[in-house]
Structure 1
Amino acid sequence: MPSSPHPFASPSHPVQHGQQARSLHSWSLATQAALALQGACLLATALFTPLFALGSVLPIGDLWSVIAAVSTLVTTVSVLAALAAIIGWLRWQWLASSLVAHSTEAGSAPDPRGASAVRRSPTWHLLSWVIPVIALWYPLQNVADLDREGWRREHNPAAPARPARTGDPGSGLRRLWWSCWLAWSVVSTLGMNAGSMTLTLLGHLLGVAAAGTAVLLVRRISDALTGRTSPLPEILRTWGWVGPAPTPAAS
């Protein structure tokens, strides 16, 4: 039995829309895998941090060499995973923002509800990460736009999009992710400059939290935008949506 069409698929461009959704899903999985690997490496590094401190005062002999070798391997893998996560995230966000901005309804012109759901173009979704000062809040706003639009499409695709600059039905997961990301960046830099084991360990743990929440956020947004049934538990798919769910429009 053929699956029902996505509510934002257009019969005039079904192949293009399908390709966009499949590409978004594929990059979503790749990004999640890279983020999960990076988080695992950061956790392993956090476990190694106190061992290095003990190794400097305890005569552990050959065990020290093994620990150092494994730590070097983990660090190398972590750097590669971080690079893959950066590339994957940027590509995923470009595809997600493009899918939302260019969505169409059956038999209609480009859907103004989708266009109004994101306040910035896909290009700005990427540039926001690298421009000083605005990089402190623009990326969070951009991801919030995608998350809110995903919620609307999943729960009530007939409803008009929430205006991008007004209101927010909830943002628990997004705010936790962004707080962990910023804290990780600051604490890790301070720990490296000060040579503090405590700050370095805290930075690794914050990185684990940032990677874990990013995986959940990418999965939630991608599943909602592509019309897939999410395998995430209900609490993880809806966490942060503190307001009432959109009310379906009367038929």
Structure 2
Amino acid sequence: MTLEGRPTAAWWSQARLLPLLLVTSAGVQAVAGVVCLLLATRVRMEGPGDIPTARMDNSWTLMATATGLVLLITAAVWMAWQRSLARLLWPEGELIRQPSVQMIAWVIPVVAWWWPLQDIRRSHELLVRRDDSTFTRLTMRWWVCWLVFWAAQLAAAWIEGSVQSLNGIRAAFTATGIADLLAIPAALLASQVVREINRQVSESVRP
């Protein structure tokens, strides 16, 4: 198909930046996950005075800050990219939701579990004018990984909030490390989704 409008310069910038941010996020999460699992092995049960050192606590705080910052930046760019994409496609056919609603759907409780997936798939359908089974499978794998990561993060936060012993500290480090590692496939698959949509947009605006 040929788009009636043309993407803005801002959207092109977001389209180029977003896959890089997603890959970077996967790398940061991988490092953070390994560090947390290593910290879990260093929590010893040798006596009542044996507690995690300040260095361990600082390492965990640094990793949590780094992963949180990268995730926030990536999320902000993703929402801006998706809103701009929806605005571009709005004249082309029936989107399920308006551009602004697509953006905030990511932070609305419960509906965030499936609305964004529907919106991404619909945008791709409008670009290719058909139901692409390959893209559907890709988005399904991505979304399952994303939901698993999200659930693991909630579980890790709950464990961390209920820590009352050295065993609890070890469990918190372990749960956080696993959750961080689960972010890797979600981020890499998300990068593939974005690249595919960017490719379709690029082909649709060629003269």
Normalised by the size of structure 1, how large is the TM-score? 0.65
**Cα contact 1:21–1:226 (8 A) shared by 2:** no
Report % sequence identity.
Answer: 23
Residues 133-184 of structure 1 deviation map (CA, whole Å, 9 limit, x = unaligned): 222211110011122233x1xxxxxxxx34xxxx663411111111111111
Structure 1 or 2, whichever has the larger Rg, is 1
**Cα contact 1:184–1:206 (8 A) shared by 2:** yes
2:164 aligned residue: none
Name which of 133, 142, 149 aligns with 1:169. 133
Cα displacement (A) at 1:21? 4.7
Distance 1:50 1:131 in 2: 32
1:85 aligned residue: 74
Residue ranges of structure 1 left out of the alignment (5+ in a row):
1-5, 10-16, 59-63, 103-113, 153-160, 229-251
Amino acid at match of 1:183: V
Higher helix share: 2
Q: Determine whether 1:211 maps to 2:187.
A: yes
Cα displacement (A) at 1:221? 0.5
Distance 2:79 2:122 in 1: 16
Matches within 5 A, 1:61-140: 71-102=60-91, 114-116=92-94, 118-140=95-117
Distance 1:46 1:131 in 2: 27
Residue ranges of structure 2 left out of the alignment (5+ in a row):
46-52, 161-170
Compare relative contact order (CA 8 Å, sep 6+) and give the higher one, 1 or 2.
Answer: 2
Number of matched residues? 186
Amino acid at match of 1:120: R
Normalised by the size of structure 2, how large is the TM-score? 0.77
Cα displacement (A) at 1:126? 1.5
Give the root-mean-square deviation of aligned CA atoms.
Answer: 2.7
Amino acid at match of 1:136: W
2:152 aligned residue: 187
Answer with 191-200 or 215-224: which moved more: 191-200
1:24 aligned residue: 11
